Amino acid sequence: MFSKTILASSLIAAVSAHQNFHQFWVNDETPGYQVGIRMPPSNSPVTDVTSEDIACNVNGQTGVADTVAASEGDTIKVQWDQSGHPGPITHMLFGPVDSAKAATGVGSWFKIDELDYVDGKWANEIMGAANMTHEFKLPTGLPSGEYLLRSEMLALHGAQTVGGAQFYIGCAQLKITGTGSDGACGPEIKLPGAYNAEDANIYIPNVYNGFDPTNYTAPGGPVGSCGGSGSTAPVSSKPSSNSTTPATSAAAASSAAVSTSVSIASNVAVSDVAAPTSSAPVASVTAAPGGNTTASALPSLVFPSTFQTSVVAAPSTFQTSVIAAPTNNTAPSAPSSTGSVGTIKKYGQCGGRNYLGATSCESGSTCTVMNDYYSQCV
């Protein structure tokens, strides 16, 4: 029973754990941990798809110092923090623009990569088996120029309520050498704009009750291309390089004597980069041992069968609270108040089933129910 309790606890932790895109490689070379990536101030998700944060996350309109060199056709590997949240990963490009550092990312994007649900596993599980990495190739036919690369992991564990889907997003700055001409790539979509809270791949009322993820496709439309073999030329104009200069780029500009484009080879050693600041990885739900005797009795197709098993095997106190959550989304639980004191920072967890922590939010934020087992200070 002891180990089962641990399992139940760890899956709850996994449910409330968040993640960031923290590193990438171009043909197996990396500029370093968090280098070239616009890191958000926390590892919390964006849930308002109409917010400009849906483009490059909170503070994502502000450039970082390094823009990393790549060429069309190169293999990009991204690495994210550990994630037990079921859902797809997608990649998009914004550009070409004169300066990736100055680009806001608010505007036109085109999708270059997508991994959804394959052989019974969501992208986050597939990545979990690959040290939380995922690889894809930059399309050929890209016009030379600078770009933002947007990596998005969409978490669907709260998708049974409108606004419950969680978008984890990070944008990297690339300087790409390519052979295409402007306007070659598409189709383009707008962010914000292309996602709607009630889209069928964002709001999934039956996500815990009969939803079949087999043919699920992530938001943002199909993976595009850059001209080439017979594909129709995209009709939309190239992304605006307007970049109504981000608030902080005035400050950035004052130090802009330094070149903003760096090649990986000339970059700092990884060991010079600041240590990770995000929270330690939480055990993935896929770590639970097998045995799925009663898994079919549970409705969820979202979570791996190992997840279901550990829930079923859990002590009855956990069964009640954990199993009840997915099957009943009509009455989101109020933040639990079990006497813990303290104030939660904005974007922190402040409630949800089995949550035992403090429930008051720092001033300027309010504890808001995201779903039955997750309330957040927003």
Q: Which residues bind ligand NAG (CB under 6 A)?
A: 23, 79, 107, 131, 212, 214-215, 240, 242, 290-293, 328, 330-331
Q: Closest distance between Cu ion and the C-beta of residue 349, in Å?
A: 8
- DSSP string covering 327-377: H--SSPPPPP--S--SEEPTTSEEE-TT--S--EEPTT--EEEEETTEEEE
Among Cu ion, ligand NAG, none, what binds residue 18 when CB lies within 5 to 8 Å by partner kind? Answer: Cu ion
Residue 2's CB is within 10 A of a number of other CB atoms, namely 7
Is the peptide bond prior to 96 cis by the omega test (within 30 degrees of 0)? yes
Taking the complex as a whole, how short is the minimal distance between the CB of residue 365 and ligand NAG, in angstroms? 27
Q: Shortest approach of Cu ion to residue 154 CB, angstroms?
A: 12
What gap in Å lies between CA 354 and CA 12, rounded to an integer? 8
The smaller minimum CB distance to ligand NAG, of residues 141 and 326, is found at 326
Cβ at position 343, least distance to ligand NAG in Å: 29
290 binds, among ligand NAG, Cu ion, none (CB under 5 to 8 A by kind): ligand NAG
Query: Quick one: which of 69, 29, 28, 224 has its CA closest to 141?
Result: 224
Q: How many helices (H) and strands (E) does the chain have?
A: 7, 20
Residues 6+ apart with CB under 8 A from 61: 52, 55, 104, 105, 106, 246
Per-residue binding letters, 7-46, with Cu ion (x by CB under 5 A): ----------xx----------------------------
User: 221: which 2 tokens?
Assistant: 């439309």
257 backbone dihedrals φ, ψ, rounded to 5°:
-60, -30
Judge contact between 368 and 378, C-beta under 8 A. yes
Identify which of residues 229 and 330 has a Cβ nearer to ligand NAG in the complex: 330
Residue 245: which of Cu ion, ligand NAG, none does it interact with, CB under 5 to 8 A by kind? Answer: none
134 binds Cu ion, rule: CB under 5 A: no
**Strand ranges across the sheet with 75-80:** 21-26, 75-80, 133-137
Residue among 87 and 219 whose Cβ is closer to Cu ion: 87
Query: With respect to Cu ion, which residue has the nearer C-beta, 17 or 106?
Result: 17
Q: Which is nearer to Cu ion, 117 or 347 (CB)?
A: 347
**Which one, 118 or 259, has the nearer CB to ligand NAG?**
118
Residues that bind Cu ion in the complex, under the rule CB under 5 A: 17-18
